[in-house]
Each structure stands twice: as structure tokens, then as C-alpha cells.
Amino acid sequence: MKVIAKTGNEAMAYAMKQINPDVVAAYPITPATEVVQIFSNYVADGEVDTEFVAAESEHSALSACVGASVAGGRVMTSTASQGLALMHEILYIAAGNHLPIVIALVNRSLSAPINIHCDHSDTMGSREAGWMQFYSANSQEAYDSIIIALKVAETCGVPAIVSTDAFIISHCMDRLEVLEDEEVQKFIGEYNPKYYALDIGKPKTYGPLDLQDYFFEHKRSQIDAFSKVLGTYNKIAQEYEKLSGRYYPAVEEYRTDGAEVAIFTAGSTADTAKEVVDDLREQGRKIGLVRMRMWRPLPIEEIKKALSKFKAVAVMDRSDTMADFGGPVFLETRGILYDLDKRPIITDYVYGLGGRNVEIADIVRVYDEITEVAKTGKVSKPVTYLGVRGEE
């Protein structure tokens, strides 16, 4: 095992190098620019065998990825924010054609107003596109997730997005344990798709017009493939643990034993919240943390199991649904908990939009308020916008 110092972007680019894909087609965008830049250096220095397609836009980047993946290649790209929005149309096409492309993504807010900092509105806006979504809490997890996600994607025929938080992870130097190149290669294996467009012996039409008589069955089969992802993920994550010693459940519980309330959140904020949990636990507070790592497919049973033991749960959402009812994690979690006989009270804190810093004090406040909710059983405010001027 090798230990090196890398930023989130460097870590993801390094994982891509070790995967050594056949094609990377990409367009640089802040704060993911470095991933594309660093990978270009690997290409220029002959450290990978990859054909690098420096596309003229993210739309063309993902379109070229689709072409390369249909052709039979192992394919990756990188983007953020507006770039993912520009790819939006093609996200659905890649997924609908069962193409296991992996995007190394950095979560950044969507315009307007234009902003380059972290929130999760970009990937949350693509929840229904048919891509797996992994939200990393740090560089190490981003590195590991890229390798795991690629194998799950190729096993299931479902594309994947692995993301980090803009600047907080992407540009922050961190300690990183990396595998040897050969270990990564052995773990991911060779990619040999059953059908591919360069198979000239058996001409086929990929992406045909599919009308009322078959479209629905094909969509259903895509959903079927998606429903196999979680089981496959759990298996592959365990294999990865054997290789690396690091295990990443779809939903992570942190000090939830005996806890009466919890924060349910994702990304770097979850790592910050762990510090808060440690401090407050020392003071005897019955609190815990649940971290959502995989948000597509939804790990429904894991979420039920993790959250059902609390009296109250505060979701911290780093994006909003514009439904006038909070963020997507809040809304979907409410749906998941609906079936439980005994449900926790659940409230939402939309925080950190456009990179607004979330501090220890903010998280302490959320724990204080959700503890009060658990005590009284009363919710005065289902959705709170945390740390916004004029809000309090």
C-alpha cells in the first residue's frame, strides 16, 4: 500500500489513470478542470493507453463517450455543474442504452446566479436520468468510489456518477492510500461487452426508433437492470474491502447506537458532522449521524433500517427542489419512511447553497433543534434555510 498526498481532483484523476480507460472524452469546467488537465498529462506522458477526445463542449463530450462505449470501449469522463446540465439530454441516452460510462464529477451549484462553489443541485437535478450516484465525503472515498463504481457499472450495464464537493474536497490536499496499478487492473478485469458497434460480423442498429409497441418493455428492462445495482454494489464493495481494507456501505451509520436523533446528510458535511457528534456524545447527548452515500438507486431498506430507530431526523440538503417543500433528500426520505409503522419525525435544513460555509456551530444548532423536536414532538418549521440572511 502506498500513501500519497492528493487533492480530490488529483485522487479521481489518479483512479482514472489506474483504470486506464480506452476513451476519455471530456470538456474542462471549474472546479473539475484539473481532472481533465491531469488526465491529459497522463496521456501526453504515455502513462495511459487512452484515446483522449478533447471535445468542444460537455454535450459533445458525453456524446463521444456514448459513441465510444457503444463501440465497445471502456469509457470515462469528468464534469461539474453547467457541464452536467449540458450533458443532461445524453445522460438519459447513455443510460437507456445500458452504457457503463463513469463520470468523475465535482458538485457545483447551477446558474443563475452564476457561482463556482459547492452544492448538490447539479447531480440532484439529474436523479431521474438512470445513472448511479455516489456522493463522496473525502478524497479517499472519491478515489475508491471511482474504482468500485466502474466495476458495478460494467457488471450491471448502468452508468455511474461519482462526485466530490467543489473545492472543499476537489481542491483540498488530503492523505490518500492508493492501490497498485496491477491491483486495480485485476479488480476491474477486462471489459468485454456482449454487443458492440465495432463487431462487424453481426451488424446491428443501436438506438433505434422505439414506439408504443416496445418502448415500455425496454424502459422496464432498464429499471430491472437498475434494481440489481444495489445487490451488486454490496458484493463489489465487500470485494474491494478485501483488497483495500476500506468498506463503504451505501448508507453509513456513525455512532447511532442509543441515539434518539440524527442528522441525515451527504458529502463533506457528513465528515464535519462526525466531529460534532464526537463532541456532543462526550457531553452525553444521544445523537448520531447517518450519511447518504449512494442516492441512485435509492438504498431504501438501508435508509429505513438506519433511520427508523430515531425519534427525530434532521435532513441536511445541499440543494432545493423548488417544490416549496425543501430539498430532494428530505422529500424522498419522507417517501421511504412512509411505510414504517413507527416513523421518526423528519425536518429539513437546506444549507450551503453556492458554497456557503457550514460551520460546526450550524451543525450543533441543527442537533439542538432536532433534539427539541424529539422532546416536544412538535415541528414548528418543517424546512429551514440554514444561515441565510434575513431568515432567522
Partner 1 sequence: MASLKELAKRQEGLVGGHRACAGCGASAAIRQILLAAGDKPTVCGICTGCMEVVTTIFPFTAWNVNLVHNAFENSAATTSGMEAAYKALKRNGKISEDMNFIAFGGDGGTYDIGLQSLSGAIERGHKMLYVCYDNGAYMNTGYQRSSATPYTAHTTTSPSGSKIPGKQQKRKDLTEIIVAHNPAYAAQTTPGYYMDLIRKVEKALAADGPSFINVLSPCVPGWGYPPEQSMNISKLAVETLFWPLYEWQDGKYKINVKPREPKPVTEFLKQQARFRHIFKPGNEHLVEEIQAYVDKQWERLLGKEEASK
C-alpha torsion sign, points 172, 250, 117, 142: positive
Minimum CB–partner distance for residue 95 and partner 1 (Å): 13
Neighbour-count burial of 288, counting CB atoms closer than 10 A to its CB (0-12 exposed, 13-18 middle, 19+ buried): buried
| Residue type, position 356, single letter | R
- Cell numbers 483488497 correspond to 243
Minimum CB–partner distance for residue 26 and partner 1 (Å): 11
Q: Which residue, 68 or 80, has its beta carbon nearer to partner 1?
A: 68
Neighbour-count burial of 262, counting CB atoms closer than 10 A to its CB (0-12 exposed, 13-18 middle, 19+ buried): buried
Minimum CB–partner distance for residue 118 and partner 1 (Å): 29
Q: Which residue, 93 or 336, has its beta carbon nearer to partner 1?
A: 93
Minimum CB–partner distance for residue 206 and partner 1 (Å): 5
Q: Which residue, 197 or 379, has its beta carbon nearer to partner 1?
A: 197
Element spanning 6, H or E: strand 2-6
Q: Are strands 102-107 and 251-254 parallel, antiparallel or unpaired?
A: unpaired
Minimum CB–partner distance for residue 33 and partner 1 (Å): 18
- Cell numbers 464493495 correspond to 237
Calpha distance 54→37 (Å, rounded): 10
Q: Which residue, 55 or 250, has its beta carbon nearer to partner 1?
A: 55
Q: Which residue, 86 or 230, has its beta carbon nearer to partner 1?
A: 86
Calpha distance 361→367 (Å, rounded): 10
Minimum CB–partner distance for residue 78 and partner 1 (Å): 15
The site for partner 1 (CB under 8 A) is made up of: 22-23, 25, 49-51, 53-57, 59-61, 63-73, 75, 89-90, 93, 197-200, 203-211, 214
Q: Which residue, 90 or 383, has its beta carbon nearer to partner 1?
A: 90
Calpha distance 156→367 (Å, rounded): 39
